[in-house]
């Protein structure tokens, strides 16, 4: 299979010679760690899901990781924006705002904010198209959607009061915020549904589906919700730590004990 990495395409092959597993990366032997590192992976574990549903910064980091999975340049844009934000805040703290240096950093800040916002809005639009009729949607909210705040207020408080670093994303079900009204089981089910939508989008863009790293999958889920969540990732490669009973009696699931 051909794998798209941040730098280029790599051909990854795996086969058995009768005794052991052979992994080839561009025709050369590869270690398991090197092989897996070339696959774009998504971690699906209880700690991450709690962070996504209880922390504004947590869900934003997760959305940014999805953006980066589709656009290798996004991380550079985000890093550049954070450096500009740091410089702009420093000048605001020092009161050095009536000079050419601040104008330069302010222009870079506005342009960087626009680029980050555009990518996030586009990702959520694509995901919501794939989530129609599935009981879950994503909503971006925050200051960057409203635009710059009065500059006098930023000078008074000595920090940037708008921008994508202050935004957030809500998981909605029937227009209700799941962070407030959802149980842990509903959080997991909604999370897996969004992951499936992203996997579909990722496959459309790259020709492959991401590797899922699933940890503590069955905690807080009854059998019905386990089935719903498993159905949402049908046909994908999964690395997980669970008991064999979780998958062994599921149609379409193969279990390999290691």
More confident residue, 218 or 42: 42
**What does the pLDDT read at residue 35?**
45
Judge contact between 10 and 2, C-beta under 8 A.
yes
Calculate the average pLDDT of the chain: 78
Question: In which element (H, E) is residue 156 found?
Answer: helix 151-157
> Residue 235 and residue 172: Cα distance in Å, rounded?
26
Q: Give φ, ψ of 137 to 5 degrees.
A: -145, 165
87-121 pLDDT tens trace: 999 999 998 888 888 899 999 999 999 999 999 99
The answer to whether residue 82 scores a pLDDT higher than 90 is yes
Residues above pLDDT 70, as percent of the chain: 67
Specify the DSSP class assigned to residue 166: G
**Range in 23-32, 68-77, 156-165 with the lowest mean pLDDT:** 23-32
Of 181, 187, 189, 173, nearest in space to 223 by CA: 189
Residue whose structure tokens are 């005794």: 19
28-72 pLDDT tens trace: 665 544 544 445 677 777 888 899 999 999 999 999 999 998 888
Q: Top-level CATH class of 49-205?
A: mainly alpha
> Residue 52 and residue 73: Cα distance in Å, rounded?
23
Parse the chain into domains and list their residue ranges: 1-39, 49-205
């Amino acid at each position: 299979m051909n794998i798209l990495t941040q730098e280029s395409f790599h051909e990854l092959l795996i086969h058995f010679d009768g005794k052991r597993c052979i992994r080839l990366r561009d025709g050369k032997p590869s270690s398991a760690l090197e092989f897996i590192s070339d696959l774009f992976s998504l971690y699906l574990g209880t700690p991450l899901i709690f962070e996504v549903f209880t922390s504004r910064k947590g869900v934003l980091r997760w959305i940014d990781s999805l953006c980066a999975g589709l656009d290798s340049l996004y991380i550079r844009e985000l890093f550049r924006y954070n450096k500009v934000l740091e410089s702009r805040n420093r000048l605001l703290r020092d009161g050095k705002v009536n000079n050419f240096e601040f104008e330069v950093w302010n222009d870079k800040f506005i342009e960087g904010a626009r680029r980050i916002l555009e990518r996030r809005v586009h990702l959520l639009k694509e995901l919501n198209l794939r989530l129609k009729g599935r009981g879950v949607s994503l909503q971006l909210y925050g200051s960057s959607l409203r635009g710059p705040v009065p500059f006098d207020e930023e000078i008074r408080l000595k920090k940037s009061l708008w921008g994508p670093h202050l935004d957030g994303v809500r998981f909605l079900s029937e227009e209700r915020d799941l962070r407030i009204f959802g149980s842990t089981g509903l959080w997991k089910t909604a999370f897996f549904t969004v992951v499936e939508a992203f996997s579909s989008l990722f496959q459309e863009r790259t020709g492959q589906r991401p590797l899922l790293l699933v940890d503590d999958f069955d905690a807080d889920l009854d059998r019905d919700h386990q089935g719903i969540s498993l159905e949402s990732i049908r046909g994908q490669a999964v690395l997980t730590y669970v008991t064999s009973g979780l998958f062994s009696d599921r149609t379409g699931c193969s279990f390999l004990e290691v």
